Structure 1
Amino acid sequence: MSHERFAEVIADLAATLPAEHVAAWAGVLMGVDRSTDGTTVAAELIDVRPGFSVSAHAGRLVRSWRTEAPDLPGPAVALALRSAALLRQRADAHRTELAVSGPTSSSVPVRLTSSVVVEVVRAARSSLLVASFAAYGVAEVIAELRSAARRGVHIDLILESSAEHGGALRGSSGAAATFAALRDRATFWHWPAARRAANGNPHAALHAKFIAADGEVALVSSANLTDRALSHNIEVGVVLHDPGVVERLVAHFRALTAPEVGPLQRLP
Structure 2
Amino acid sequence: MTKESGFRRGLVDTVVRIAAQLPARQAHAWAAILRRHPGPDQALEAELIAAAPGGGSASLASTLAAQWRREPKVPGTALALALLTASETSERAERLRAQVVVTGPSSLEQPTRLTSAAVFQLVASARRELLVVSFAAYRSAGLVGALAAATDRGVRIDLVLEDSTGAADAFSALQGRVRFWHWPSAERGANGRAALHAKVIAADCSSALVGSANLTGRALNENIEVGVFLRDPRTVRRIVGHFRALMGEDGPLKLLKTDLGQS
CA contact (8 A) 1:10 1:61 kept: no
Once residues 235 and 82 of structure 1 are traced to their aligned partners in structure 2, the CA distance between those partners, rounded to angstroms, is: 39
CA contact (8 A) 2:102 2:114 kept: yes
* Counterpart pick for 2:38 among 33, 36, 46: 33
- 1:49 paired residue number: none
* Counterpart pick for 1:142 among 144, 148, 167: 144
TM-score by length of 1: 0.76
- 2:192 paired residue number: 202
Once residues 145 and 21 of structure 1 are traced to their aligned partners in structure 2, the CA distance between those partners, rounded to angstroms, is: 41
Q: CA RMSD in A?
A: 3.1
Shift of 1:33: 2.3
- How many matched pairs? 247
Gaps of 5+ in 2: none
Bigger mean CA deviation after superposition, 250-259 or 175-184: 175-184
The aligned amino acid for 1:208 is A
Once residues 146 and 75 of structure 1 are traced to their aligned partners in structure 2, the CA distance between those partners, rounded to angstroms, is: 54
Decide whether aligned partners of structure 1 residues 3 and 214 sit closer, same or farther in structure 2, where only a CA change above 3 A counts: same
* Counterpart pick for 1:185 among 151, 171, 177: 177
Indicate the SS of the match to 1:30.
Answer: helix
- 2:78 paired residue number: 76
- 2:129 paired residue number: 127
CA contact (8 A) 1:32 1:41 kept: no
Once residues 150 and 34 of structure 2 are traced to their aligned partners in structure 1, the CA distance between those partners, rounded to angstroms, is: 44
The CA deviation string for residues 162-189 of structure 1, in whole angstroms up to 9 with x for no partner, is: xxxxxx22xxxx2122123333432221
- Does residue 5 of structure 2 align to residue 15 of structure 1? no
The aligned amino acid for 2:240 is V
Shift of 1:137: 1.8
TM-score by length of 2: 0.78
Shift of 1:243: 2.8
The aligned amino acid for 2:204 is D
Gaps of 5+ in 1: 47-53, 162-167
Once residues 144 and 20 of structure 1 are traced to their aligned partners in structure 2, the CA distance between those partners, rounded to angstroms, is: 37
Once residues 158 and 6 of structure 1 are traced to their aligned partners in structure 2, the CA distance between those partners, rounded to angstroms, is: 52
Shift of 1:98: 2.1
Decide whether aligned partners of structure 1 residues 205 and 55 sit closer, same or farther in structure 2, where only a CA change above 3 A counts: same
Percent of counterpart pairs with the same letter?
A: 45
Once residues 94 and 233 of structure 1 are traced to their aligned partners in structure 2, the CA distance between those partners, rounded to angstroms, is: 27
Bigger mean CA deviation after superposition, 245-254 or 96-105: 96-105
Decide whether aligned partners of structure 1 residues 30 and 230 sit closer, same or farther in structure 2, where only a CA change above 3 A counts: same
Once residues 77 and 251 of structure 2 are traced to their aligned partners in structure 1, the CA distance between those partners, rounded to angstroms, is: 56
Q: How does 1:1-268 map to 2 (within 5 A)?
A: 2=7, 7=12, 10-23=15-28, 25-27=30-32, 29-34=34-39, 37-38=43-44, 41-42=47-48, 46=51, 54-56=52-54, 62-70=61-69, 71=72, 72-92=74-94, 95-161=97-163, 168-169=164-165, 174-196=166-188, 201-259=191-249, 261-267=250-256, 268=259
Shift of 1:130: 0.7
CA contact (8 A) 1:132 1:159 kept: yes
Shift of 1:220: 1.2
